Chain A
Amino acid sequence: MAEVKVIGSWSSPYTRKVEMALKMKGVEYDYIEEDLKNKSPLLLQHNPIHKKVPVLLHNGKPIVESMVILEYIDEVWEGPAILPKDPYDRAMARFWVKFIDDKCIPPMWKACWSVGEEQEKLKEEAKQGLKFLENEIKGKKLFGGDNIGIVDHAANFIAYWFPITADFVGLQRLMTEEEFPNLYRWADDYCSHTFVKENLPDKDGYIAILKSRYRSIIIWHYLSLINYVTFLVRSPHAFPIYEYEFK
């Protein structure tokens, strides 16, 4: 019998999308939680270049980078398609995946952890990306059509993790219902999809992780809202939060 393992991080959207894809295909797997502050020999052996999660191990062979993993899962296992069958539709899906990963998620995430002018710039940058996504989702239930596809997986951070994080740090007016009604509706459809909602980390658990992992960031964040201390504090780029632990 094939041996399938996932090395991941409980709170990570990148890990979750891999698990969802495996479950959608009905694939049994063992899950190994990784302590990202103390990386295991197993992780370092199987992802020596990036040292990140998630890692899929299939019969001992590693596949890394969540989008590469999703394409692999789609090719190896039968079941609901993750990518469209038509070559042009596949190209479009890959294009949107790259766009979301490169242009939407980074500024959205960074905006959560910055303040002042830096934050405003990042918000603008993120909104530019979201406008294109808003247009793309018009008239469609999900990016994958009637079913969850690779683009929905790519955007899972936007649907679930981002609103919680933004709310927690007090980031306002980046993705509002007024400005992005279709994306808002998509996020709701995505998160309430019977399959997805069973596989999301619970909100309180995720917030607890944010609190513990980024305690120093949060303290800095709130202190710097009081302008007089900002000159005492280092720039956000000095904090490792900018570097994703997972991809």
Chain B
Amino acid sequence: MADDLKLLRTWSSPYALRVVHALKIKGLEYETVLEDITRKSASLLEYNPLHKKVPVLLHNGRPVCESLVILEYIDDVYKQPPLLPQDPHEKAMARFWAQFGDDKVMPSTWRVFTSEGKDQEEAIGPLTENLKFLEEQLKGKSFFGGEAIGYVDLAFGWMGNLISILEEIIDLKLVDAEKFPLLSAWINKFSDDPVIKAFWPPRDKMVEKFKAMREHFLKQVP
């Protein structure tokens, strides 16, 4: 009997997109359930009572939550093509970098995006430091995963479309091609990959959404 896979997600969540991309790379069929985050469905609340967030992957009715946990689960169950490296040390490094992305790169990018003036200037330093580490990681590689898109590429996938959207809104280069040639090249290569490109949410809707988010955050500053 074929596996029953369902993905609860929103139209724009970058975390959910990680799972969408992973499922596509693995060649898996699944049903999409689109959630409205302002009116969470009973299903979402039932399957993710702790966080009440997307994405949630339902595999034969059993929920798996947290996007990176879901990626590892998919990789555990469906072996080909592998998302994580096979070598234990490289696997550990992949997990480290994905965590670094979520703990450091994303928040520091967000800080630059949701601030202005002096606050924004001060926020750029930490972001630059974090991006330097990523640049270093790409030396001699097409993707973070080596020759093919892997776990770390999917973890950083949000940069593939979101960086240029954020740059457009704040009129500021976050990933300068001169300072970060490898990272810039990766962003282009990743987002142009046919597997990835097919699932980007509509750009104009994203610009509208993130513009509103930035305004909301700027209003909160005392």
Q: Please name the residue on chain A nearest to B62 by beta carbon.
A: A88
B95 near A91 with CB under 8 A, answer: no
CB distance from B197 to the nearest CB of A (A): 28
A76 beta carbon closer than 8 Å to chain B: yes
B65 near A95 with CB under 8 A, answer: yes
Q: A58-B89, A72-B88, A91-B72 are in contact. Are A98 and B66 (CB under 8 A)?
A: yes
Contacts of B37 in A (CB 8 A): none
CB distance from B23 to the nearest CB of A (A): 15
Which parts of B83-127 form the interface with A (CB within 8 Å)? Answer: 88-89, 91-93, 95-96, 99-100
Count of B interface residues, CB-CB < 8 Å: 22
B89 near A98 with CB under 8 A, answer: no
Contacts of A99 in B (CB 8 A): 50
A49 near B133 with CB under 8 A, answer: yes
Highest count of chain A CB atoms <10 Å: which of B50, B73, B92, B100: B92
Contacts of B96 in A (CB 8 A): 63-65, 68
CB distance from A28 to the nearest CB of B (A): 18
How far does the alpha carbon of A76 sit from the alpha carbon of B50 in the complex, in Å? 32
Which parts of A82-135 form the interface with B (CB within 8 Å)? Answer: 87-88, 90-91, 94-95, 98-99, 103, 132
- Could you name 7 residue pairs across A and B whose Cβ atoms are closer than 8 Å? A63-B96, A75-B88, A75-B91, A87-B76, A90-B76, A95-B66, A132-B50
In the A-B complex, the 6 residue pairs with the closest CB atoms: A87-B76, A91-B73, A72-B92, A75-B88, A94-B69, A63-B92
Enumerate chain A interface residues (CB-CB to B < 8 A): 49, 58, 61, 63-65, 68-69, 71-72, 75-76, 87-88, 90-91, 94-95, 98-99, 103, 132
